[in-house]
Amino acid sequence: MKILPIGVLLGLGTVGVGGWYKFSNLKPKTLRQYLEWQGLKLIQDTERNYWQAALDENKKIAGDLNIDTSSIEGIKQWCGGNLDSENYEDFKVGASLLCVDNPKTVRARIIQLDGNIDGLIKEGETDKYKVSYIFKKHIEGVTDLIGFVPPEQEKGKPINEDLENAGKALSSWCKKSLESAPDDTLVANVKLLCYPKGFEDIDGLIKSRGEEGLLLTEQSNSEALKQKYSSIKDLSSWTQDAESVSSGSPEDSLKNWCNSNKSKKFSEEGTFSNLYPKFRFRCIKTTSADPQTATGA
C-alpha cells in the first residue's frame, strides 16, 4: 500500500476544516429565510382565508405574543414586521405557526377552504346530526367510519333506525375529526357528514326538491288526488292509516293524511325509512322521472 506524503495529509486536513467552518456558519440571515429553509410556505398577503385559519388555530399563541386577535390584521402586521428581522430567535416558534400555510387540524383546513366553519352542525344540535346520518347512511363505509353498528332488522317489522345512538356516534366522530391532522380524504368526509342537510322535515325536503307543485294537496292536483285515493282505498296499509284522520269526502281523508304528515321530522324514528316512502307514493303526483309503485302504499 502506498503511503501519502505528510504534506498531502496536512493539506487534506486544512480543506476539511475549512469546509466544516463554512458549513457551520451557513445559517438563515432572516426569519423569512429561516421559515423557507424549514420547507414552510409563507402566507401571502391576499390569502385571507389562510390568515383566518392561522389565527383561529393559534389564537392563544398570538395573545401570548401581545398580538391583537380581534381580526387577521393583527397577525398580518406582526408577521410583516418580523419576517425580515435578523434577530429572530424569539420569533421562530410563533412565526412557524402564525405566518405559514401549515394547518395542524381539519378545522383549520376547512377555514382555509371556506373562510369559516359556521356552516358545520354545532355541538348540541342533535337533531341535525340525526338527519345528516339518515340521509348518508346508505353510502358505503359511512357506518364503519363513524363507529356505529345499525340494529338488526326483524322481518315484517317497521325498520328500526336507532337514530338516537346514530346521531351521538356521528356527533362524536365529527368533533374528533375536526381536531385531527388534516388529509384530503378526512376533510372531504367531514364536509360530507358534518354539515346540516338544510331541511328538517318532509315538507322541507319536498321544497328543496322543487316539488311543491306536485303535492296532491294542491288545488290544481285535485283530480290526481281523487285518482290516487281510488287506487289505494282498499289497500290494508291505507285503511289502517285512514282511521287516524277525519274527513268529509272520501278523498279528503287522503288529503288530511298528507297534510298531517308532511311536517314529520326526519330526526324522529321511522320517518325516513317507514313514513316517507308512503308519503311519496300517496301524496306526490306521479311523473315519468319518478315512477311509483304500490309498495309504498
Q: For residue range 102-114, what is the model confidence (pLDDT) as tens digits?
A: 999 999 999 999 9
Q: pLDDT value at position 241?
A: 86
Q: Are 133 and 163 in contact (CB under 8 A)?
A: yes
How many angstroms separate the first and last alpha carbons of the chain?
A: 99
| Residue 233 and residue 286 in one domain | yes
Crossing angle for the helix pair 106-114 and 184-193, to the nearest 10 degrees: 70
Rounded to whole angstroms, the Cα distance separating 148 from 163 reads 10
Residue where one domain finishes, among candidates 102, 135, 166: 102
| pTM, to two decimals | 0.83
Are 169 and 280 within 8 A, CB to CB?
Answer: no
In this prediction, residues 46-69 reach a mean pLDDT of 97
* 289 belongs to a structural domain: yes
Q: Over the Cα atoms of the chain, what is R_g?
A: 32
Question: What is the pLDDT averaged over residues 8-13?
Answer: 44
DSSP 121: P
23, part of any domain = no
What are φ and ψ of residue 142, in 5° steps?
-65, -45
Domain that holds residue 189: 126-193
- In a domain? residue 114: no
| 285 located within any domain | yes
Q: Is the pLDDT of residue 290 over 70?
A: no
Which amino acid makes up residue 264?
K
